[in-house]
């Protein structure tokens, strides 16, 4: 009896390594610039909302459906289609499967995490590690993957808001509170209210105490989450 599949001579291209098909995964930067000029839309806002995927040889790849919806409705909104698979994965995140809760928190704060994608077996239900769940999120488009660095990250503002919605519905009140208070903290910072800024950062530090309290990287994530709403107006870069 032949135990091998008859269909085993194909090359596989995926979101982790699309190879020569990278430029066809979504709209490229040049295509979006042309579309924005044709539709008289703000290129910088489109880029903030829907860019962020990157592949070897193609540094800017945009979510095609979101860009098209934005151009047709002439609005910069969240057009992401949620999937049943993501709803199922949320259960693993809620249960903090192999430390997923901390990882998602750090990703929301703008961090990158190195993962091993090779253990994922194209199974939508059975996972042996947090890396398997995160790899599936890459394939679904919820996370971007830097093939060279082997790192994942949240690609853009649209997807970040989806994770915030998931976190809120999951009952992570501490993280949700830190994000919700970010408007007040940003306002206090712009108004040079030192006492309010100090109190806001202290609250955020306590809210995100699921991370290592005295760890430098965790503190950086705490500050990034505390100033979450600033992303709408500013681009932040780590040292």
- How buried is residue 131: exposed, middle or buried, by Cβ count under 10 Å (0-12/13-18/19+)? buried
pTM of the predicted structure, to 2 decimals: 0.81
Q: pLDDT-derived band of residue 106, with 50, 70 and 90 as boundaries?
A: confident
13 has pLDDT over 70:
yes
Instruction: Give the pLDDT confidence score for residue 179 in this predicted structure.
Output: 84
What residues are paired with 100 via a beta bridge?
A: none
Instruction: Give the pLDDT confidence score for residue 90 in this predicted structure.
Output: 74
CA–CA distance, 127 with 129 (Å, rounded to integer): 6
What residues are paired with 153 via a beta bridge?
A: 144
Instruction: Give the pLDDT confidence score for residue 167 in this predicted structure.
Output: 79
Average pLDDT over residues 218-225: 84
Nearest-CA neighbor of 114 among 125, 106, 123?
106
Mean residue pLDDT across the chain:
84
- In total, the chain counts a number of residues equal to 239
Cβ atoms of 124 and 130 within 8 Å: the answer is no
Instruction: Give the pLDDT confidence score for residue 83 in this predicted structure.
Output: 66
Mind listing the pLDDT tens digit for each residue in 153-208? 999 999 998 888 887 777 777 778 888 889 899 999 999 999 999 999 888 888 77
6 has pLDDT over 60:
no
Does residue 114 or residue 234 have the better pLDDT? 114
Contacts by 81-87, CB closer than 8 A, 24 or more apart: 82/162, 83/140, 85/124, 85/136, 85/140, 86/137, 86/140, 86/142, 86/166
Instruction: Give the pLDDT confidence score for residue 92 in this predicted structure.
Output: 73
Instruction: Give the pLDDT confidence score for residue 35 in this predicted structure.
Output: 96
Mind listing the pLDDT tens digit for each residue in 19-78? 888 888 889 999 999 999 999 999 999 999 999 998 887 889 999 999 999 999 999 998
209 has pLDDT over 80:
no
């Amino acid at each position: 009896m032949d135990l091998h599949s008859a269909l085993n001579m194909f090359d596989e291209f995926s979101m982790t390594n699309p190879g020569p098909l990278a430029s066809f995964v979504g709209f490229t930067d040049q295509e979006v610039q042309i579309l924005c000029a044709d539709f008289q839309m703000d290129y910088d806002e489109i880029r903030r909302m829907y860019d962020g995927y990157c592949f070897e040889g193609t540094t800017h790849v945009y979510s095609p459906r979101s860009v098209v919806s934005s151009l047709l409705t002439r609005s910069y909104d969240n057009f992401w289609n949620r999937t049943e698979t993501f709803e199922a994965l949320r259960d693993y995140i809620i249960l903090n499967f192999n430390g997923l809760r901390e990882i998602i928190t750090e990703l929301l704060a703008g961090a990158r995490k190195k993962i091993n994608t090779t253990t994922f077996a194209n199974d939508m239900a059975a996972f042996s590690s947090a890396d398997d769940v995160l790899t599936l999120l890459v394939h679904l488009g919820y996370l971007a993957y830097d093939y060279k660095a082997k790192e994942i990250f949240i690609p853009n503002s649209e997807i970040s808001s989806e994770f915030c919605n998931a976190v809120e519905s999951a009952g992570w009140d501490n993280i949700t509170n830190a994000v919700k208070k970010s408007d007040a903290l940003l306002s206090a910072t712009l108004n040079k209210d030192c006492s309010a800024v100090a109190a806001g950062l202290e609250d955020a530090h306590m809210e995100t105490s699921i991370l290592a309290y005295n760890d430098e990287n965790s503190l950086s994530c705490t500050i990034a989450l505390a100033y979450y709403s600033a992303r709408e107006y500013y681009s932040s870069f780590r040292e």
